[in-house]
Amino acid sequence: MPWLRLRVRAAAGANAIGEQLLAAGAVAVSVLPGPDAQDVLEPAPGEAPYWHSTRIEALLPIDADITALPRLDFDVDFLADQDWSQAWRCGFGPMRFGRLVVMPQDGTTHLAAHEVVVRLDPGLAFGTGTHPTTALCLDWLASQQLAGRRVLDVGCGSGILAIAAQRLGAGSTVAVDHDPQARQATADNARRNGVAVTIKSDLATVEGRFNVALANIVANTLCEMAPDLHARADKLALSGILPGQAERVMGAFPGFQFQVPVVKDGWVLLRGRRA
């Protein structure tokens, strides 16, 4: 069954417009950067981070009555139905991060003797290696000596970082995510790669110290969880950070010495070691 796709132009009031679209029968609403958007605003606690200029896209059943919508400035077209959980495969081939190779679970490529493969099906969870923040973390992981090390992955998404650590020889890995879809994707991908990953829903339930902790989230969340990470990790790799946020995030970890930030496509990786 095809769908109606509405694109709404909005300078403000994205939340209210989204609620109106949901009330009209939308099954999905996305807030995206507008044509002149330049940066993501750092929100106050409990608020959503939006761009200066936004657009809203909504997916509605083909028989939805859009004449009942309030006066909104929108375009409408039709979108063919598809298996959205598999849409990520479009254009996703083998990707190399140092000695790591990430590919779909049924992908093929020629491998060098030193290369280590992670086969992935993220489902509806974040993390394939195509986003700069994930790529930064994978490049860093591939450069580390992880044999026998204990690794913590916070905000694990598809499990790509935790599984990569295990495939690179980590002694044990714990993956944490509050999203049940992410935990399921991590479990499925760990099984496909033949590795064991302990999966938790809350960092507060994770016990013990870790040689390495990775967190690919956002700056606010990294600062909020800093005390928990500080108490658990000897070495940190933090991403999901914009350049203007790097100093604030590093300041949230006073017991760590950080190297010069690594920047890729407007995103930052912070690498720190306990002082």
Per-residue tokens: 44: 């106050």
Residue 269: strand pairing partners: 262
Per-residue pLDDT of 17-60, as tens digits, reads 878 888 878 877 777 666 554 444 444 444 455 556 677 888 87
Asked whether the whole model's pTM tops 0.85, one would answer no
pLDDT of 170 > 90? The answer is yes
Question: Percent of the chain scored above 90 by pLDDT?
Answer: 43
Estimate the crossing angle of helix 180-192 against helix 160-167, to 10 degrees.
30
If you ran DSSP here, which 8-state letter would residue 152 be given?
A: E
Predicted confidence (pLDDT) at residue 228 exceeds the cutoff of 80: yes
CATH of 3-81, one of 3.30.70, 3.40.50, 1.10.3470, 2.60.120: 3.30.70
CA dist 178 and 137 (Å) reads: 20
Alpha-carbon separation of residue 50 from 20, 45, 142, 247 (angstroms)? 18, 13, 33, 21
- Compute the radius of gyration of the chain from its Cα atoms: 20
Tokens of 256: 């760590």
- pLDDT for 79-117, tens place per residue? 655 554 454 455 556 788 999 988 876 666 677 888 888
Query: Amino acid letter at 199?
Result: I
Which ranges in 38-159 belong to alpha helices (H)?
132-142
What's residue 46's pLDDT?
Answer: 47
Residues in the chain: 275
Q: Mean per-residue pLDDT for 248-273?
A: 95
Q: What pLDDT does residue 74 have?
A: 76
Q: What is the mean pLDDT of residues 207-223?
A: 93
Q: Where are the domains of the chain?
A: 3-81, 86-274
**pLDDT given for residue 132 in this prediction:** 87
- CATH of range 86-274; options 3.40.225.10, 3.40.1280.10, 3.50.50.60, 3.40.50.150: 3.40.50.150
